[in-house]
Amino acid sequence: MKPVNQKAWLLVVPVVLCVAFSAILPLMTVVNYSVQDIISPERRVFVGTEWFKAVMRDDDLIGALGRQMVFSLAVLAVEIPLGIALALAMPAKGWTSSAVLVLVAISLLIPWNVVGTIWQIYGRTDIGLMGAALAALGFDYSYTGNATHAWLTVLLMDVWHWTPLVALLCYAGLRAIPDAYYQAASIDGASKFAVFRYIQLPKLRGVLMIAVLLRFMDSFMIYTEPFVLTGGGPGNATTFLSQYLTQKAVGQFDLGPAAAFSLIYFLIILLLCFILYNWMQRVGTADKTEAGHG
Amino acid sequence: MDERRFKKRTIFLIVYLVFAILPVYWMVNMSFKTNEEILSTFSLWPQHFTTDHYRTIFTDESWYSGYINSLIYVAINTVISLGVALPAAYAFSRYSFLGDKHVFFWLLTNRMTPPAVFLLPFFQLYTTLGLMDTHIAVALAHLLFNVPLAVWILEGFMSGVPREIDETAYIDGYSFPRFFLTIYIPLIKAGVGVAAFFCFMFSWVELLMARTLTSVNAKPIVATMTRTVSAAGMDWGVLAAAGVLTIVPGAIVIYFVRNYIAKGFAMGRV
């Protein structure tokens, strides 16, 4: 057990101050906006929960939320298994492991709007490799005109962009498994699948929880990449929550409703985050007692 | 049987790497083509090889100042993030104190706040403070997601260091600051490297806040690029060259910390 020491708070104070400055102050401003009708900087009317009610009835918002949930779940369904498979396939030793690690990580280091720009070009049927290849294969591909194509392109872009994060996490988790486990398995004559199912997967549970948590939350906040690639269109096929919010707040300058929307958005993420975090903690502890190390 | 298995894995890995590299290759390819060639012909490699686009970026101040601005605020942000996160991570890994778990969770929730939610308040806050269009404003705003991440990573590393080391140092008469700076931090070098890498990466790739808080003097390269897309029509060549150059700093950093990255997560708060 860790010793109790209230003086440790002194070490935490700088972090709390920093984050409070960039989190609590802005959050209070948002709360302040959400209950007022701001006609001009001088004329403000207190409207109570009116904006919240209006936002909850907003069909566009509910549409964006639905699209967001489907998108985030699709992201998890593709990226998690692919990331695990990739981590299993990555070499563990030698110069190839360094080379593969750097190559795999490259897409994580590209600024998000550059990611959008790359795919914007890449998907064009006249000058882009992917677009041209699809057109040559006889597909009538157009990410600007066809809603399904646009949605799939955004998903493919996200898979390209973020699967490496899952892969790196799992790769690290795999490296942490002691050789003794594999030796025991080979003495028992375990198949490759059995090794994966009964040794690797349970040992990866901890990092997988982090991967799921990070990917879910980050995909829930996706903004820049679809903004550059499709601008939310065609129609609103790729307008996700952040995009809709920014349109409202910056585009139409509807401060009150945008603030109410922000708070609801924040609460949704907070709730999901809380559930996942507690689940992660519980599974993590169960894993530790089972494996017998701390 | 093992041989065949090995081959299947290698083939899968190669297919993935091709999928990962092709979009980047395409941008590099475009950055060396003339604009006429980009728009008129489809070619797998440059037919009329040119470095004009790169020359434009390195000679035009509105372009290269973007890189300098980005590097400045990323550096400020990384330094502040690590500076405040190191002692806090030590406190979380070594002691129990009132509300420690709640504070830790609260920090994590900030990592998960959509930046779009805070755009307007940030704009107002920094306007009021007179910090608009300064590097420090972007650096401070990026603390929102980098500080929690740095605390999280460092705490994992610190928990891996046996507590006996602290106790021995105190018995030997070290004061806390001296122990922390001369003994403890060198022990978790790898963790500091990994945390610095992630702070660098997330601050470098972020667009929304950086664009909102700057206009001219501190305008980051990512914002310079979006304006070119909309205003100057489609100067694809320069855009591609600028994109290629944004990957370079990250690639250099990852090369240096590649050995730590895997370790960092393995020891993290799992």
Q: Is residue A120 in some structural domain?
A: no
- Lowest mean pLDDT segment, chosen from A153-157, A274-278, A283-287: A283-287
Q: Hey, which residues 36-65 in chain A have their CB within 8 Å of chain B?
A: none
pLDDT value for A27: 84
pLDDT value for B10: 87
Q: How far is the C-alpha of A129 from the C-alpha of A108, rounded, in Å?
A: 21
Q: Is residue A269 in some structural domain?
A: yes
Would you say residue B60 has pLDDT above 70? yes
Answering whether pTM is above 0.90, one says no
pLDDT value for B270: 39
Q: Is residue A130 in some structural domain?
A: no
Q: What share of chain B is helix, strand, coil (3-state, %, to 5)?
A: 80, 0, 20
Number of domains in chain A: 1
Would you say residue B229 has pLDDT above 60? no
pLDDT value for B240: 85
pLDDT value for A294: 34
Best residue in A1, A7, A22 for a mutation probing chain B (most B CBs within 10 Å): A22
Q: Is B15 exposed, middle or buried (0-12, 13-18, 19+ CB in 10 A)?
A: exposed
pLDDT value for A292: 39
CATH number of the domain enclosing A200: 1.10.3720.10
Q: Is residue A188 in some structural domain?
A: yes
Nearest to A207 among B39, B111, B270 (CB): B270
pLDDT tens, position by position, A125-176? 877 888 888 888 888 888 888 888 888 999 999 999 999 988 887 887 787 7
Q: Is residue A155 in some structural domain?
A: no
List the domains of chain B with CATH numbers: 60-267 (1.10.3720.10)
What is the extent of the structural domain holding A52?
A: 42-109+161-291
Query: What mean pLDDT comes out for the span B130-143?
Result: 90
Which residue from A minimizes the CA distance to B197?
Answer: A109
Q: Is residue A123 in some structural domain?
A: no
pLDDT tens, position by position, A69-81? 899 999 999 999 9
Of A33-42, B139-148, B233-242, B245-254, give the range with the top mean pLDDT: B139-148
Average pLDDT, chain B: 83
- Cβ distance of B116 and A29 shorter than 8 Å: no
Nearest to A224 among B27, B109, B208 (CB): B208
Query: What mean pLDDT comes out for the span A244-253?
Result: 73
Counting DSSP H helices and E strands in chain B, the numbers are: 14, 0
pLDDT tens, position by position, B37-48? 777 777 788 888
pLDDT tens, position by position, B70-80? 999 999 999 99
B164 touches chain A (CB under 8 A): no
